[in-house]
């Protein structure tokens, strides 16, 4: 037989059955054999039992190890203590908490890991566990030489050891440090809240169920002038609410006590100094744990100044409305999307619409497509942040010949980003028509004045015309006479004739000039050289010049003298000024009477004509009056000459003014814009 | 006719001056022209004095000023003043200042040459004077009203103004004017002026 130890369990069972069968077959012939067989059966049975035991032993060990592992790695510390507080067993988590090796502390006292403060508590805890066998919970503090203090909760029960029948204290050690810290923070927060309550710029008021004051904060004291001590227990409504408001507040309070809160109620309260402060209130009902009404917490905002500011704002808005409505200008605020934010009364009345029909609408819808097409580029400029000013003729429905003066101001508030633009518009249609009327009248007046002027100059002009006529007549007479006596050489005839033609042309020019000058005509702006024009005008002045014995010289220095003007009107102005200068000097005896006409370009945009005389000059008083209508120094003058001249120059976007010469005489200055 | 006689012309208008020169030359006179009174004073030689045709209107020294200046410079030359058409007051002033005669532009050339001839020719001058003196004497034939009208005409006033001043109608003035012209045998207003001025001279000083 093989060594049974080398056989596996099945072989062993086979052998056992084999041995038992052999035993049954045998008689007791040989007791020794029988005995040996019986022994073998026992041996096998024993081996089998041993093997089963070993298996259960291994299983048991595995189970115990698993338990130990669980025990040691549990997030909760476990410790078994005896009656004296010595450590019977401790898991790794607990060891970690006290930062010690298990072997070091097993059997040692747990007391030494506790702070001095809680040693007593621990002793009582232990005693209670052993005495009462009830679950006992206490908060303690662990302390180790290298560790900070750790707050723990010790939850202990009494356990019986099955083997020793010894009672021990099994404790769970729960680290409550994190929650403890949170609690500390919570305490700090409470302090913070308390501080907040005290320093908040709001009233915080606690009333009891009947409306008596329980507590107030510092701001309340500051605002009302009463301290908490003075007002505690007093009835809120009777003490602080003005009589006229008391009924109202009573009912609000009643509602609040019945769960109907009125948030945002505004009412005045009386201060110690007798002022009233307007407070906006936010109430919260205070409920006890059972949910019963326990009082009111009210937070109040002093809105006295805010209300004042709001009132002032409303007032100024109202005023602004009044002003913008009263202004005879169309005012609107257009947003970045070209829609109306605001428009004044004149604006919507002009369109025969109501405010509501315009506000929020797109400009296109208000002005109409045609007008919008004209406005669009200007709107774009305004929304690009550019200021716009122009006169436009807009095709507006139900309006004929409509002229508007348009001003767009981009609106850039303090934030720095464009918020649309303000549109200011004036209907200048009538003004435009008047402008045309005025121009028409000016043209008529100028024509009349030219006729008058020529009337006064008739004899001088006749004299001028007489000169070429005399010469013509002379040439003809001389020719005839020479011919009569046979002395006219044939080759001399062309000379005579061309002289005559020259003189006819001379007369013609004067007549043409006169005809132009006496014609009444519309404004005709033409590109002209001002220097040439002055030379032409002087032709009409030859007679006057002689009559009054005046020297007329020119200094036409302006290199660029190109202007867009009505020739006749500007000639008239210059003629007028020249005649004035001549007449002013007429009374000067035995003196050189000089007039210089100068042109110069003072800057790149304008040309200036200066008519400089050496006459007696004008007094300061006269200087300021000469351009006024109906002002005259002449006995027979109408006094319209210079005022008309100024109107004519104004019509040409120019300026006419008078200056005193440094030594003698006066200078009349005409400034006209140059034309490219 | 004295071929050496020089006619002087002062006129600032070149065309008038040069054309006038041709006319006078055609009557076989020597002509010297000046375009201003100042140049005349500078260039004039007394021995060449024949007659001076003087334009009244000139820049610088005027004709009347020159006329006034001549005696003080001991320049004695018969002066014929040239005036614009209808400029009676100037003509009157020139005549009073000692002008021999005056003529209006544009000229009647025959008349002009006659006047020049008269000026340079003593005999003719006297004849003209006699004729004019006859005219002066004929003033006696005028009614007081006609004389009033004449005085006002010589003042350079037009019919309408005269009518207003005398408180009569323009038509009446025209009638008076026609009558007095016929009585004086005057052909134009300048004849009336001449007669009037000469008559006044006669009344003041001894007649020629």
pLDDT at A176 over 50: yes
User: pLDDT at position B131, please?
Assistant: 64
C-alpha distance from A478 to closest chain B C-alpha (Å)? 4
pLDDT at B18: 92
Q: What is the pLDDT of residue B127?
A: 54
Indicate whether A635 pLDDT > 70. Answer: no
User: For A467, which of B15, B87, B109 is closest by C-beta distance?
Assistant: B15
Q: A490-535: per-residue pLDDT in tens?
A: 888 999 999 999 999 999 988 888 888 788 778 888 899 999 999 8
Name the pLDDT band for B208 (thresholds 50, 70, 90): very low
Q: Mean per-residue pLDDT for B7-31?
A: 90
- The pLDDT confidence band at residue A249, using thresholds 50, 70 and 90, is confident
Distance CA B26, CA B116 (A): 13
Q: How confident is the model at residue A610 (pLDDT cuts 50, 70, 90)?
A: very high
Q: How many CA atoms lie within 13 A of A93 on its CB side?
A: 18
Question: Shortest Cα distance from B54 to chain A (angstroms)?
Answer: 14
**Under the phi-then-psi rule, with left for phi > 0, alpha for psi from -120 to 50, and beta for the rest, what region is A107?**
left
Any idea which of A171-180, A644-653, B25-34 has the lowest mean pLDDT?
Answer: A171-180
Q: What is the mean pLDDT of residues B144-173?
A: 89
> pLDDT over 70 for what percent of chain B?
85
Instruction: Examine the pLDDT at B205 and tell me if it is beyond 50.
Output: no
A503 contacts B22? CB cut-off 8 A: no
> At residue B57, what are phi and psi to the nearest 5 degrees?
-95, 110
Chain B closest-CA separation from residue A459 CA (Å): 9
Over 60: is that where the pLDDT of A267 sits? Answer: yes
Return the structure tokens found at A631.
Answer: 């002002």
In 3D space, the residue among A566, A505, A588, A562 whose CA is nearest the CA of residue A539 turns out to be A505
Query: Cβ–Cβ of A477/B109 closer than 8 Å?
Result: yes
| pLDDT above 70 for A397 | yes
Give the Cβ contact number of residue B123 at 10 Å.
8
Of the candidates B19, B23, B57, which has its C-beta nearest A463's C-beta? B57
Min Cα separation A638/chain B (Å):
22
- The reply to whether B105 touches chain A by the CB within 8 Å rule is yes
Residues 6+ apart with CB under 8 A from A42: none
Closest partner residue to B19 among A462, A478, A547, by Cβ? Answer: A478
Looking at residue B2, its pLDDT comes to: 47
Of B25, B59, B106, the CB nearest to A546: B59
Which residues of chain B lie closer than 8 angstroms to A463, CB-CB?
Answer: 57, 84, 87
The pLDDT assigned to B123 comes to: 44
* Chain centre to alpha carbon of residue B188: 12
- Band (pLDDT 50/70/90 cuts) for residue A2 is low
* pLDDT single digits (tens) A44-58: 888 888 888 888 888
Which chain B positions have a beta carbon within 8 Å of A545's beta carbon?
59
The residue of B7, B17, B23 whose CB has the most chain A CBs within 10 angstroms, and thus the best one to mutate to test that interface, is B23
CB contact under 8 Å between B109 and A502, yes or no, is no
Instruction: Give A116 or B85, the one with higher predicted confidence.
Output: A116
Contact B85 A462 (CB under 8 A): yes
A478/B106 CB distance under 8 A: no
Among partner residues A478, A485, A549, which is closest to B23 by beta-carbon distance? A478
CB contact under 8 A, A474 and B62: no
Is there a contact between B107 and A474 if contact means CB atoms under 8 Å apart?
yes
Q: How close are the terminal C-alpha atoms of chain B, in Å?
A: 24
Which single residue is written with the structure tokens 């030489």? A145
If you ran DSSP here, which 8-state letter would residue A51 be given? H
**pLDDT score, position A636:** 57
Q: Would an 8 Å CB–CB cutoff place B61 in contact with chain A?
A: no
Residue A640 confidence class, pLDDT cut points 50, 70, 90:
low
Q: For residues A353 and B86, which has the higher predicted lDDT (pLDDT)?
A: A353
Q: Using an 8 Å CB-CB cutoff, list chain A residues near B85.
A: 462, 466
Mutate to test the interface with A, among B84, B86, B90 (most CBs of A within 10 A): B84
Lowest mean pLDDT segment, chosen from A532-541, A621-630, B167-176: A621-630
A482: which chain B residues are within 8 Å (Cβ-Cβ)?
22, 26
B68 at interface of A, judged by CB pairs closer than 8 A? no
pLDDT for res A276: 86
Overall average pLDDT of the A359-363 stretch: 91
* A463·B109 Cβ contact <8 A: no
Chains A, B: CB pairs < 8 Å = 79
Range of lowest pLDDT (A288-297, A355-364, A486-495, B10-19) = A288-297
> How sure is the predictor about A26, in pLDDT bands with cuts at 50, 70 and 90?
low
- The beta-carbon neighbor of A474 closest among B20, B60, B84 is B20
Give the pLDDT confidence score for residue A473 in this predicted structure: 92
The predicted-structure confidence for A539-551, as pLDDT tens digits, reads as follows: 778 777 777 788 8
Contacts of B66 in chain A (CB under 8 A): none
Specify whether the CB–CB gap between B83 and B58 falls below 8 A. Answer: no
Per cent of chain A over pLDDT 90 is: 12
Count how many Cα atoms sit within 13 Å of the Cα of residue A632 in the half-sphere of its side chain: 12
The ipTM (two decimal places) reads 0.74
Distance from CA of A477 to the nearest CA of B (A): 6
Least confident of A110-124, A340-354, A596-610, A637-651: A637-651
Q: Which residues of A fall within a CB distance of 8 Å from B111?
A: none
Give the closest-approach CA distance of A613 to chain B in angstroms: 17
Q: A582 to chain B, minimum CA–CA distance in Å? A: 14
Give me the residues paired with residue A216 across strands.
A205
Per-residue pLDDT for B204 more than 60?
no
Residues of chain A contacting B1 with CB distance shorter than 8 Å: none
pLDDT of residue A27: 61
Do residue B16 and residue A474 have CB atoms under 8 angstroms apart?
yes
B84 vs A contacts (CB less than 8 Å): 459, 462-463, 466
Say if the Cβ atoms of B19 and A475 lie within 8 Å.
yes
Residue in this structure with the two tokens 């059972």, named with its chain if needed: A290
Judge whether residue B21 has pLDDT over 80: yes
- Domains defined along chain B, listed by start: 6-120 (3.40.50.2300), 131-205 (1.10.10.10)
**A581-600: pLDDT as tens digits:** 888 887 776 668 889 999 99
Give the chain A residue nearest B111 (alpha carbons).
A477
Average pLDDT value over all residues in chain A: 83
Q: How far is B150 from chain A (nearest CA, A)?
A: 22
**What confidence category does residue A667 fall into, taking pLDDT thresholds of 50, 70 and 90?**
very high
Subunit contact A502:B20, Cβ cutoff 8 A: no
SS (H, E, C) A464-510: HHHHHHHHHHHHHHHHHHHHHCCCCCHHHHHHHHHHHHHHHHHHHHH
**pLDDT of amino acid A18:** 80
CB contact under 8 A, B15 and A503: yes
B26: which chain A residues are within 8 Å (Cβ-Cβ)? 477-478, 481-482, 485, 487
Return all residues near A303 (Cβ < 8 A) that are at least 6 apart: A266, A278, A279, A280
Give φ, ψ of B9 to 5 degrees.
-120, 125
Using the beta-carbon criterion (under 8 Å), do B26 and A478 form an inter-chain contact?
Answer: yes
Q: Which residues of A touch B107 (CB under 8 A)?
A: 470, 473-474, 477
* Helix, strand, or coil (residue A170): strand
Q: Is B32 on the interface with A (CB under 8 A)?
A: no
SS3 content of chain A, % helix, strand, coil (to 5): 50, 25, 25
């Amino acid at each position: 037989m093989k060594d049974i130890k080398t056989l596996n369990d099945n072989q062993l069972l086979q052998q056992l059955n084999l041995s038992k069968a052999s035993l049954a077959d045998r008689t007791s012939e040989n007791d020794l054999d029988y005995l040996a067989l019986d022994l073998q059966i026992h041996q096998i049975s024993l081996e089998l039992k041993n093997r089963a035991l070993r298996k259960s032993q291994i299983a048991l060990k595995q189970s115990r190890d698993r338990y130990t592992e669980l025990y040691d790695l549990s997030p909760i510390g476990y410790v078994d203590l005896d009656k004296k507080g010595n450590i019977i067993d401790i898991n790794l988590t607990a060891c970690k908490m006290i930062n010690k090796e298990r072997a070091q502390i097993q059997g040692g006292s747990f007391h030494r890991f506790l702070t001095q403060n809680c040693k007593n508590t621990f002793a009582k805890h232990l005693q209670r566990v052993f005495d009462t066998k009830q679950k006992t919970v206490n908060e303690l503090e662990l302390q180790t030489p290298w560790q900070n203090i750790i707050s723990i909760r010790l939850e202990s029960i009494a356990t019986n050891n099955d083997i020793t029948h010894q009672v021990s204290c099994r404790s769970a050690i729960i680290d409550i440090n994190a929650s403890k810290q949170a609690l500390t923070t919570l305490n700090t927060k409470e302090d913070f809240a308390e501080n907040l309550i005290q320093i908040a710029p709001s009233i915080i008021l606690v009333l009891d169920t009947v409306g008596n004051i329980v507590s107030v904060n510092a701001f309340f004291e500051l605002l009302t002038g009463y301290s908490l001590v003075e007002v505690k227990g007093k009835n809120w409504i009777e003490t602080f609410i003005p009589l006229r408001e008391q009924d109202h507040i009573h009912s609000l309070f009643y509602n609040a006590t019945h769960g109907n809160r009125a948030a945002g109620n505004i009412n005045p309260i009386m201060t110690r100094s007798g002022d009233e402060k307007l407070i906006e209130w936010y109430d919260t009902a205070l409920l006890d744990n059972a949910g019963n009404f326990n009082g009111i917490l009210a937070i109040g905002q002093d809105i006295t100044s805010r209300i004042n500011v709001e009132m002032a704002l409303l007032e100024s808005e109202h005023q602004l409305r009044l002003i913008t409505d009263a202004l005879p200008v169309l005012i609107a605020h257009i947003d970045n999307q070209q829609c109306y934010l605001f428009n004044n009364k004149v604006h919507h009345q002009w369109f025969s619409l109501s405010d509501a029909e315009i506000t929020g609408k797109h400009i296109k819808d208000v002005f109409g497509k045609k007008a919008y097409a004209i406005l669009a580029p200007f709107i774009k400029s305004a929304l690009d942040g550019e200021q716009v000013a122009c006169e436009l003729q807009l095709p507006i429905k139900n309006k004929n010949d409509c002229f508007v003066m348009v001003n767009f101001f981009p609106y850039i508030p303090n934030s720095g980003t464009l918020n649309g633009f303000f549109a200011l518009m004036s209907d200048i249609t009538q003004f435009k028509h008047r402008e045309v009327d005025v121009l028409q009248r000016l043209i008529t007046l100028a024509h009349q004045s030219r006729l008058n002027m020529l009337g006064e100059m008739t004899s001088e002009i006749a004299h001028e015309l007489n000169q070429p006529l005399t010469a013509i007549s002379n040439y003809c007479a001389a020719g005839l006479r020479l011919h009569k006596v046979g002395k006219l050489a044939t080759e001399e005839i062309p000379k005579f004739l061309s002289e005559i033609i020259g003189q006819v042309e001379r007369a013609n020019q004067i007549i043409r000039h006169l005809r132009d000058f006496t014609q009444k005509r519309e404004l005709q702006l033409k590109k002209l050289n001002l220097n040439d024009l002055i030379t032409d005008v002087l032709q009409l002045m030859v007679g006057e010049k002689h009559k009054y014995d005046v020297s007329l010289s020119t200094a036409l220095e302006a290199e660029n003298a190109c202007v867009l003007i009505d020739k006749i009107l500007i000639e008239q102005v210059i003629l007028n000024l020249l005649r004035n200068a001549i007449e002013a000097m007429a009374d000067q005896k035995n003196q050189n009477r000089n007039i210089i006409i100068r042109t110069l370009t003072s800057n790149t945009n304008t040309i200036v004509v200066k008519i400089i005389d050496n006459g007696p000059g004008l007094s300061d008083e006269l200087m300021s009056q000469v351009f006024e209508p109906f002002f005259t120094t002449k006995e027979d003058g109408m006094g319209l000459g210079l005022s008309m001249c100024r109107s004519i120059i104004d019509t040409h976007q120019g300026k006419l003014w008078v200056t005193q010469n440094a030594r003698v005489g006066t200078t009349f200055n005409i400034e006209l814009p140059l034309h490219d | 006719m004295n071929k050496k006689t020089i006619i002087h012309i002062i006129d600032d208008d070149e065309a008038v001056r040069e054309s006038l020169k041709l006319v006078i030359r055609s009557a076989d006179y020597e002509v010297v022209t000046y375009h201003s009174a100042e140049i005349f004073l500078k260039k004039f030689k007394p021995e060449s004095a024949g007659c001076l045709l003087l334009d009244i209107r000139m820049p610088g020294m005027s004709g009347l000023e020159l006329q006034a200046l001549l005696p003080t410079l001991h320049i004695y030359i018969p002066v014929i003043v040239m005036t614009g058409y209808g400029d009676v007051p100037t003509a009157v002033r020139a005549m009073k200042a000692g002008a021999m005669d005056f003529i209006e532009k544009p000229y009647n050339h025959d008349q002009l040459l006659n006047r020049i001839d008269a000026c340079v020719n003593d005999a003719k001058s006297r004849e003209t004077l006699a004729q004019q003196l006859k005219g002066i004497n004929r003033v006696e034939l005028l009614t007081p009203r006609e004389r009033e009208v004449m005085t006002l005409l010589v003042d350079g006033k037009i019919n309408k103004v005269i009518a207003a001043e005398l408180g009569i109608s323009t038509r009446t003035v025209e009638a008076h004017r026609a009558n007095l012209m016929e009585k004086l045998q005057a052909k134009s207003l300048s004849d009336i002026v001449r007669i009037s001025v000469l008559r006044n001279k006669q009344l003041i000083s001894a007649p020629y």
